[in-house]
Structure 1
Amino acid sequence: MAKSLGHFSSLVSFTKTQLSRQCARLFFRTSVRRTVMRAVPSILSPKARDFSLPNPSWGDEMMRLYNHYNQQGGVDPEGGGEQGGRWTRLPSYNRSLKYAIGGVYLSKIIQSKARLFTRNIQQAGAAFEYVVFYTNDKQRCVCVLQAGHLLEGPPGHVHGGAIATMIDTVTGSHASLLCAPVMTANLNVNYRSPIPLGSTVLIESTLGEQEGRKMFVSCKISSSDGSKLHTEATALFVSVGVSHLLRG
């Protein structure tokens, strides 16, 4: 009798252990499923925010130039078509990943909410406020930049590193339209006159020579009316494989 009770007790203990394990597995699967189901709508949402669109921090000159170029063209959601007129606006969430096989969809799913670090300041108007347009033959790009107070270097003027950052951003975006993805191999910057904080300037990028995987681009920054030259630069970009970018 005692032996039977011991056997029964062992059986109950074994059943409880099995039941506990099954419940734990069920809880884990349910938790994972709930997490995935909650995440999927936001990940798959096609409504990626475009930081190159006007916001309340844009001044009159920024809006005037935006309207000037925007009225001559349209927006190319994938950065690869030729529509509208002479100029086409480049969305801020455009990414090199889209050039991989199926990359258009991957870039929307994985990087639809990613920001370049020039876009990562939460406060509108505090740092880099800019929009990039390119010609349909993709030989020229123009960027309208409004420099916020967080970009200060010399008192009352934009930091030289911030200027170089924007040159690299604009020329890199330009090179990517023609031969993507690319990486900066060389950047030479000549500072001519300082850029006042809060001012709006034009950054113009022009395609130079192409030699195999190499692409040379020239750039200049001038006042919005073109009367003052602030900066001149040349850049060399080298095309790389998408796998190289994914490996880091």
Structure 2
Amino acid sequence: MAGSLGRLFRGFQSFTSLPATRAQLSHPPAFFSSRTMVTLPSFLSSKPRDFSLPNSSWGPEMLRLYELYNSQCEVETEGGEKQEGSWQRLPSYNRSLKFATGGVYLSKIIQSKARLFTRNIREQGAAFEYVLFNNKEEQRCVGIFQAGHLLEGPPGHVHGGAIATMIDTVTGTHATILSGPVMTANLNINYRSPIPLGSTVLIESSLDTKEGRKTFISCKVTSTDSSKLHTESTALFLSINVSHLLRGG
């Protein structure tokens, strides 16, 4: 029995690895965006899970702000019809496909273990709990972020690198919406006040200007009532050609 299972497992690995399927996968899959997920060939597809929806680890303030912005994603007209509101909730998925050097597909076994950095902790509430909303008209993006205990830096407070990660996540997503696929070229951060572990903060991103391939963004991290400024930052993103990125060019 063990030998049969071993042969079955090795056969499955062979089937899902590149050498067996390279001829069918000569073109890389299309990106929805450089910071969300990619489209898989049909035989590798799986239904993605949206990690930006409420779960049992969300505290009252996280839930309150989620409901506040989510209620503005759809409004009811005087005639009782539903229409798009000023804000749009942005889904957040695990990255569902990895590339090796040169764009070589890794096996499905390895792909199943691949996780977007901010979604790398499987325990709900232990690290990065967040949801993003975008306002197209105002060219603003807001992230609601609840920091878990695994993000500790200074005793009882969030690590500066974790804060930088979330700033890059929010501003990078915003830049992608504004300019298509981008990569971070520069990120300047001024830390003003530490963020207590377990607390919820607002990360607000706004467009400064666009110059050719360059998108300039400003961002601030505040308490949920805006009374305390935790962090200020500016970021520069460069538009990229995804096909060149996947080929390592």
TM-score (norm 1): 0.72
User: 1:232 and 1:138 mapped to 2: Cα distance?
Assistant: 20
Query: What's the offset of the Cα at 1:189?
Result: 0.1
Query: What's the offset of the Cα at 1:180?
Result: 1.6
Query: What's the offset of the Cα at 1:201?
Result: 0.2
User: 2:198 and 2:13 mapped to 1: Cα distance?
Assistant: 49
Alpha-carbon spacing, 1:94–1:70, altered in 2? closer, same or farther (3 Å): farther
User: 1:112 and 1:34 mapped to 2: Cα distance?
Assistant: 16
Q: Hey, what does 1:178 align to over in structure 2? A: 178
Alpha-carbon spacing, 1:114–1:85, altered in 2? closer, same or farther (3 Å): farther
List aligned pairs for 1:111-122, cutoff 5 A: 115-122=115-122
User: 1:55 and 1:113 mapped to 2: Cα distance?
Assistant: 22
Query: What's the offset of the Cα at 1:32?
Result: 6.3
Q: Hey, what does 1:51 align to over in structure 2? A: 51
Large movers: runs of 4+ above 3 Å = 31-36, 111-115
Aligned pairs, number: 195
User: 2:138 and 2:246 mapped to 1: Cα distance?
Assistant: 26
In the alignment, is residue 216 of structure 1 matched against residue 216 of structure 2? yes
Q: Hey, what does 1:155 align to over in structure 2? A: 155
Query: What's the offset of the Cα at 1:179?
Result: 1.1
TM-score (norm 2): 0.71
Give the secondary-structure state (helix, strand or coil) at the position aligned to 1:196. coil
Query: What's the offset of the Cα at 1:33?
Result: 11
RMSD: 2.8
List aligned pairs for 1:1-248, cutoff 5 A: 43-45=44-46, 47-73=47-73, 84-93=84-93, 115-137=115-137, 139-248=139-248
Give the secondary-structure state (helix, strand or coil) at the position aligned to 2:54. coil
Paired residues of 2:183 and 2:240 also in contact (CA < 8 A): yes
Alpha-carbon spacing, 1:52–1:33, altered in 2? closer, same or farther (3 Å): closer
Alpha-carbon spacing, 1:41–1:244, altered in 2? closer, same or farther (3 Å): closer
Alpha-carbon spacing, 1:125–1:42, altered in 2? closer, same or farther (3 Å): farther
- In the alignment, structure 1 segments of 5+ residues that lack a partner are 1-26, 75-82, 98-110
Larger helix proportion of the pair: 1
Query: What's the offset of the Cα at 1:86?
Result: 1.0
Paired residues of 2:94 and 2:116 also in contact (CA < 8 A): no
**For residue 44 of structure 2, what is the amino acid of its counterpart?**
I
User: 2:246 and 2:14 mapped to 1: Cα distance?
Assistant: 29
Query: What's the offset of the Cα at 1:44?
Result: 2.7
Alpha-carbon spacing, 1:84–1:94, altered in 2? closer, same or farther (3 Å): farther
Q: Hey, what does 1:23 align to over in structure 2? A: none
Q: Deviations over 1:85-141 (max 9, x none)?
A: 01101110298x9xxxxxxxxxxxxx9996320111010000000000001336100
Paired residues of 1:93 and 1:113 also in contact (CA < 8 A): no
Query: What's the offset of the Cα at 1:242?
Result: 1.1
Paired residues of 1:144 and 1:200 also in contact (CA < 8 A): yes
User: 2:45 and 2:115 mapped to 1: Cα distance?
Assistant: 17
User: 1:239 and 1:112 mapped to 2: Cα distance?
Assistant: 29
Paired residues of 1:167 and 1:203 also in contact (CA < 8 A): yes
**For residue 183 of structure 1, what is the amino acid of its counterpart?**
M
Paired residues of 1:48 and 1:113 also in contact (CA < 8 A): no
Paired residues of 1:132 and 1:170 also in contact (CA < 8 A): yes
**For residue 87 of structure 1, what is the amino acid of its counterpart?**
W
Q: Hey, what does 2:35 align to over in structure 1? A: none
Q: Deviations over 1:181-206 (max 9, x none)?
A: 10000000000000000000000000
